[in-house]
Structure 1
Amino acid sequence: MALAARSVSEIVLEDISMKYETASSDVLAVQQVSMNIAKGEFISLLGPSGCGKTTLLRLMADLLAPSSGKLSVAGGTAKEARLAQKYGIVFQSPVLYDWRKVKHNVTLPLELKGVSKKQRDKRADELLELVGLKAFGDKYPWQLSGGMQQRVSIARALAMEPEILLMDEPFSALDEFSRERLNEELLTVWSKVGSTVVFVTHSISEAVFLSDRVFVLSPHPGRLSAVVDIPLPRPRNKEMRNTPQFFELIADIRSRFEGV
């Protein structure tokens, strides 16, 4: 994404902190995090396990309320964005219904909204073609590989044409070969739909390959320790993983964790 295109803010966090109350003591998960994510931008939240990546994603999605600070989404509150169905969410696990065919998993959000069957079927065909699964609409999730199931999840998340796509380590359970292939396919889908993407990962190479910018979080409690621009040209392809610039960016980000 060109720097000039970062003029319209989509998600803004100002001094956000999140404290979980437990029976024994309070746990500070995220501490005074500020971010400004532009409309149409692909950013990654990167950091070790337990640094608050998923907490931040859940705050953006209005699944949690911050303990302090201010959060705005699409010019309003996170709750307003959620009620306006501006979000699509992809979790670490595909969370598909095994008794529903693939196309009926994809159309579930439309069905719940009362969209006609004709329109639902048309949208399912479009989305399954977009994620390369048009021939598998009449299969059941259990008949697909893990990577294919996750592509179904992405198609379902896009069913309502969300302005914002939130992704919580969606490929972490896959082998490296499948993960890299799905990274490439995700960028192809993103280039066509244009959603703002917030992608949670603990893989430095994945964050570099996918993102316009990488937001580096420190270990618990999560604080924003760096924001790294990724100047790799788009569209990106697998050959970029072998370029000196790609390795330099990985080394730069890795160095930011040293001594933390």
Structure 2
Amino acid sequence: MNTPEIKLERVSMLYQTDSTEVLAVQDVTLDIKQGEFVSLLGPSGCGKTTLLRIMADLIQPTNGEIKVAGESARAARLAQKYGIVFQSPVLYDWRKVKQNINLPLEMIGMKKSEREDRVNALLELVGLEDFKEKYPWQLSGGMQQRVAIARALAMEPEILLMDEPFSALDEFTREHLNEELLSIWSKVGSTVVFVTHSISESIFLSDRVFVLSPHPGRLSSVVDITLPRPRTQEMRNSPEFFQLIADIRDSFEGV
């Protein structure tokens, strides 16, 4: 498409506290194509989550403009174009897995038979068919995040926004879920914006990586990830992968 799915133009965010002002994001301009998987990469406190919240219309930028499919972020939110996955799964412990996934469908009044079909399809998509009657506290952290991803996909969003969803998991689980996420993305085709502070994770997942500078967050560079798809764990040990890591590290040093 000629029109970007998401377009930010000179976006800045200034937070006012009791004693001072904090410039979290400064003059960020970027665009994201429909169906693209991109990562927002940078150190803690560089404004990655702030940018994601601006895209989601959860906060309003101090300056600049954001368009989603040519409309305002507010219009996109009201049209339910977003699915959001947070760092914590934010599941309801008293609701079973299938009931957690079902929740947004209940809220819009979808017919029970349609809800059941949608939830069953999502359970299959994230590989949790055998755990639908379990409660969140009976699942591992990685399985809880898969439930959160399924719930975010329940409304069939055009855009999936993910705020460091695997950062609390051990490295082995995290790498496994990276593969599962790419498998899910290949089937649903949503545009994905993924926040991370892991260079290797951003490379493994993304088509492009938007590198943000340390506070205040500015767009330092955009790195095209040329690794072929589907991605495999073996690629993490390839010369191309290590070169991309070096390229991104160099972009930080150039800030």
TM-score (normalizing by structure 2): 0.99
**Per-residue displacement from partner, 1:7-56 (whole Å, max 9, x unpaired)?**
44100000000000111111100000000100000000000000000000
Question: Does residue 34 in structure 1 map to residue 29 in structure 2?
Answer: yes
Unaligned runs of 5+ in 1: 1-5
Hey, what does 1:167 align to over in structure 2? Answer: 162
Q: Once superposed, which parts of structure 1, at least 4 consecutive aligned residues long, lie more than 2 Å away?
A: none
Superposed CA RMSD: 0.8
Q: Report the Cα distance in structure 1 between the residues aligned to 2:174 and 2:32, rounded to whole angstroms.
A: 25
Hey, what does 1:56 align to over in structure 2? Answer: 51
Pairs within 5 Å for 1:200-219: 200-219=195-214
Residue 177 (structure 1) aligned to one of 163, 169, 172? 172
Hey, what does 1:11 align to over in structure 2? Answer: 6
- State the percentage of identical aligned residues: 75
Q: Report the Cα distance in structure 2 between the residues aligned to 1:45 and 1:153, rounded to whole angstroms.
A: 20
Hey, what does 1:114 align to over in structure 2? Answer: 109
Q: Report the Cα distance in structure 2 between the residues aligned to 1:8 and 1:195, rounded to whole angstroms.
A: 16
Amino acid of the residue matched to residue 232 of structure 2? N
Residue 63 (structure 2) aligned to one of 61, 68, 83? 68
Q: Report the Cα distance in structure 1 between the residues aligned to 2:76 and 2:169, rounded to whole angstroms.
A: 31
**Per-residue displacement from partner, 1:189-226 (whole Å, max 9, x unpaired)?**
00000000000000000000000000000000000000
Hey, what does 1:188 align to over in structure 2? Answer: 183
Unaligned runs of 5+ in 2: none
Amino acid of the residue matched to residue 58 of structure 1? R
Q: Report the Cα distance in structure 2 between the residues aligned to 1:247 and 1:157, rounded to whole angstroms.
A: 33
Q: Report the Cα distance in structure 1 between the residues aligned to 2:33 and 2:113, rounded to whole angstroms.
A: 35
Pairs within 5 Å for 1:9-158: 9-158=4-153
Deviation at 1:130, TM superposition (A): 0.3
Question: Does residue 233 in structure 1 map to residue 218 in structure 2?
Answer: no
Q: Report the Cα distance in structure 1 between the residues aligned to 2:99 and 2:198, rounded to whole angstroms.
A: 32
Amino acid of the residue matched to residue 79 of structure 2? A
Q: Report the Cα distance in structure 1 between the residues aligned to 2:36 and 2:3, rounded to whole angstroms.
A: 10
Amino acid of the residue matched to residue 29 of structure 1? A
Q: Report the Cα distance in structure 2 between the residues aligned to 1:27 and 1:231, rounded to whole angstroms.
A: 36
TM-score (normalizing by structure 1): 0.97
**Per-residue displacement from partner, 1:94-150 (whole Å, max 9, x unpaired)?**
000000000000010000000111111111110010011111111100000000000
Q: Report the Cα distance in structure 2 between the residues aligned to 1:187 and 1:253, rounded to whole angstroms.
A: 21
Which has the higher mean CA deviation after the structures are superposed, 232-241 or 177-186?
232-241
Q: Number of aligned residue pairs: give it.
A: 255
**Per-residue displacement from partner, 1:167-199 (whole Å, max 9, x unpaired)?**
000000000000000000000000000000000
Which has the higher mean CA deviation after the structures are superposed, 153-162 or 67-76?
67-76
